[in-house]
Structure 1
Amino acid sequence: MTDDPEYSRPEAPFNALPPMVIAIALVLGGIEVVFQIGALGLIGGPDAVGWRIGAMETYGFFDTVFEAMRAQGSWPFEHLRRFFTYAFVHYSITHALMVMVFILALGKMVGETFGNLAVLVIFIVSTLAGSLAFGLILNAATPLLGAYPAAYGFIGAYTFILWLGLGQMQENRMRAFTLIGFLMGLQLLYGLLFGGSPDWVADLAGFVAGFGTAALLVPGAFGRILMRLRQR
């Protein structure tokens, strides 16, 4: 045995991730695993094949349901929860895996910078922002599903970290928005070629919410924002 750091055991990948990021990924992945093994008939019997569709109908965010609640002025909990629960049900395993990759990669930076509580706050706020934008802006027949708005919230928080760092180095802060610009461009191109869904509105709202939430999490940031607004 030697104390030489060159011979120290490498750190496990999951140990390097903030616990809240791991927890969110495990919940999303665990739900998807249940859907997959249910579809294979390994648990739940014949009804398990339809678990995903049932979850979509019960927990997905539907614009028609949102508009009905607004028109009637009634907000029952079974539908209010849809503002958040849609993030835990995905269309497919590929849909879920892509979301988890974003959350694990960008959540690590956000968690290391702002802490575990901030990871949870950004996830919740971005999820809510996504469903609100989807319901208020669009008139969509298909439901909003999956944690992409939350993943984009982490992209927003990561963008803020870059924006802050570039500003301190006296460099062009617009470079911080390269990632979101690239992703939105890809979505636009995909939509033009293959007729994509309007979910990008929810994703963009999640990004804005993540960026704004991260800004408010920086000590003294709110005061600096007010000062800049007054100067303008």
Structure 2
Amino acid sequence: MPDQGPPAPVNPLPPFLIALFLVIMGVEAAFTLGARGLVGGPDAVGWRAAAIQDYGFNGEILGWMLEHNAYPAEHLRRLLSYAFIHGSFTHALFAGVLLLAMGKFVSDVFRHWAVLVLFAVSTVVGAVIFGLVAPGRPWLIGAFPGVYGLIGGFTYIMWLRLGQMGTNQVRAFTLIGVLMGLQLVFGLLFGGNATWIADVSGFASGFLASFVLSPGGWSRLRAKLRHD
């Protein structure tokens, strides 16, 4: 047999994570280049603003759907599409890098389809909770609620491992505590908005969904419910 060489020191990034990252950065590249007049002509300067209007999420939209009991596809798609629209190149880059990092860690334990579902569920739940309770009805854009959902999956994995080791499981929540602390500091220094509601909701939904989406998670959950 031919020599296949030594095994890779780390597992490669799953293709779906790379695809999500490329979509996020591809959309942002179009906005950035368009704003600088490098692509798309004069109309490209307004691409980002138009995309926020067409694909971003807003509490007023959710309120209208609930009030009229009407859920047109053009508004329902916003529950996911807002994750691919960002306010700046830096915003998109940070979201993309965290997506790769957290997604890679969770993918080493969860099935790949489960990670994708985790990201989608957290994105949707983050938007819905934001739309229901966010003051001032600001626009919600960016992949961070879905990324925070992956952080919820990461926290779930660490929570299980610490439990198996007989260590204090509260330590599993250190990362989310640090991130929310940083958000608070930046909000106090530079001004903030209510998008943290979507992030926290994304984290909580990601953590809870992991009880079902993790390998053997549904069986463990049913056994625990029976035991209780």
Question: Partner of 1:195 in structure 2?
Answer: 191
Asked if the contact 1:126/1:153 (under 8 Å) is kept, the reply is: yes
Superposed, which structure 2 residues align to 1:1-232 within 5 Å? Answer: 16-229=12-225, 231-232=227-228
Q: How does the TM-score come out when normalised to structure 1?
A: 0.89
Distance 2:116 2:214 in 1: 16
> Can you list the C-alpha shifts for 1:170-220, whole angstroms capped at 9, x where unaligned?
111111100001111121232233331111110011111211222212344
TM-score (ref. length: structure 2)? 0.91
- Percent of pairs identical after alignment? 50
CA distance in 2, matches of 1:219, 1:46: 51
CA contact under 8 A between 1:21 and 1:119: conserved in structure 2?
A: no
1:78 deviates by: 1.1
Q: Over the residues paired in the alignment, what is the CA RMSD in angstroms?
A: 2.1
Deviation at 1:75, TM superposition (A): 1.4
Q: Distance in 2 between matches of 1:206 and 1:172?
A: 24
Equivalent pair of 2:83/2:141 in contact (CA under 8 Å): yes
Deviation at 1:230, TM superposition (A): 5.2
| Aligned pairs, number | 226
Cα separation, 1, equivalents of 2:72 and 2:62: 11
Structure 2: tracts of 5 or more residues without a match: none
Tell me the distance in 1 between the aligned counterparts of 2:188 and 2:113: 39
Residue identity matched to 2:35: A
Displacement of 1:226 in angstroms is 4.0
Rounded to whole Å, the distance in 1 between the matches of 2:210 and 2:41 is 45
State the SS of the aligned residue for 2:139.
coil
Q: Deviations for 1:123-156, whole angstroms, at most 9, x for unmatched residues?
A: 1111101101101222333100000001101111
Gaps of 5+ in 1: none
What is the rounded CA distance, in whole Å, between the counterparts of 1:224 and 1:26 in structure 2?
Answer: 35
Q: Which moved more, 1:72-81 or 1:26-35?
A: 72-81
Seen in structure 2, the aligned counterparts of structure 1 residues 9 and 165 have a Cα distance that, compared at 3 Å, is closer
Q: Secondary structure at the match of 2:109?
A: helix
